[in-house]
């Protein structure tokens, strides 16, 4: 479920109304430095889409009229998510967008989730400040892989983060395990040796303390 703390609410944003002209929108974007801003309806409650500085410049360079409404260059009209959107939907929707619009339970514009905020949240979830080593582990895809792997490592130390990726074409899993700073190089080697004896491959180990 989407965390409200990641969302910038409407009151903190620069937006334009659907009646705003292209010339006015361009001035707003140049003054604020934003690459795009949300377009709302006349009531300021309904999300209509986004207006991009790039499209405004292109339109103006081609001799296009600048006294027409921003809806003429409206983009991303269907790019929005509800407040209770699951994370998988957020990832599939935001993709290369600078932000994704967020709607409340009444489908009114609530705010935006920026790509930067989402990436920062993911980076924090890695607990890099508490991490000592990250094990990049490759394993055959089975239902028992992750439980057996975490059980084995837990014999030596706690696990502060775990992330898995399915390599479907190879029928394998790539698993990233972050270990705490209390793990010594000697303990690390024991963990790796034990993993390899059990058939896990550990091709890469990243030392977060040197980053």
pLDDT tens, position by position, 22-44? 999 999 999 999 999 999 999 99
Instruction: Answer yes or no: are the C-beta atoms of 74 and 51 closer than 8 Å.
Output: yes
User: Which pLDDT band holds residue 4 (cuts at 50, 70, 90)?
Assistant: confident
Fill in the DSSP letter of residue 126.
T
Residue 25 · residue 113 · CB < 8 Å: no
The CATH architecture that domain 127-204 belongs to is 2-Layer Sandwich (3.30)
Q: pLDDT tens-digit profile of 98-143?
A: 999 999 999 999 999 999 888 887 777 666 677 889 999 988 766 5
CA pair distance 34, 51, nearest whole angstrom: 10
Element (H, E) at 44: none
Whole-model pTM: value is 0.72
Dist CA 121 CA 105 (whole Å): 24
How far is Cα 147 from Cα 48, in angstroms, rounded to an integer? 46
Average pLDDT over residues 39-67: 97
Domain coordinates in residue numbering, the chain: 4-121, 127-204
Dist. CA 130–CA 96, nearest whole Å: 30
| Res 1 pLDDT > 60 | no
Q: Residue 170: is its pLDDT beyond 90?
A: no
What SS3 class is residue 200?
Answer: coil
For 2-19, b/e burial (b = at least 16 CB within 10 A) is beeebbeebeeeebbbbe
* Architecture of the 4-121 domain: Roll (3.10)
Q: Is the dihedral of CA 69, 70, 74, 78 positive or negative?
A: negative
Residue 191: which pLDDT band, with cuts at 50, 70 and 90? very high
At 35 the three-state DSSP class reads coil
Q: At what angle do helices 145-154 and 185-197 cross, to 10 degrees?
A: 140
């Amino acid at each position: 479920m989407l965390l409200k703390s990641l969302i910038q609410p409407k009151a903190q944003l620069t937006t334009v109304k659907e009646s705003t002209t292209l010339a006015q929108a361009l001035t707003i974007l140049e003054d604020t430095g934003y690459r795009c801003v949300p377009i709302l309806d006349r009531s300021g409650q309904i999300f209509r889409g986004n207006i991009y500085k790039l499209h405004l410049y292109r339109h103006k360079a081609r001799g296009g009229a600048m006294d027409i409404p921003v809806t003429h260059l409206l983009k991303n009209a269907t790019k929005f998510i509800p407040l209770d959107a699951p994370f998988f939907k957020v990832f599939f929707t935001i993709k290369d967008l600078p932000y994704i619009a967020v709607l409340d339970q009444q489908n009114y514009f609530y705010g935006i989730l920026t790509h930067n905020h989402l990436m920062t949240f993911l980076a924090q979830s890695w607990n890099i400040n508490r991490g000592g080593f990250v094990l990049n582990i490759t394993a055959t895809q089975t239902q028992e892989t992750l439980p057996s792997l975490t059980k084995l490592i837990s014999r030596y130390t706690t696990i502060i983060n775990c992330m898995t990726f399915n390599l479907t074409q190879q029928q394998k899993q790539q698993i990233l395990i972050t270990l705490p700073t209390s793990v010594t190089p000697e303990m690390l080697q024991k963990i790796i040796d034990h993993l390899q004896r059990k058939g896990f491959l550990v091709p890469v180990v990243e030392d977060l303390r040197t980053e």
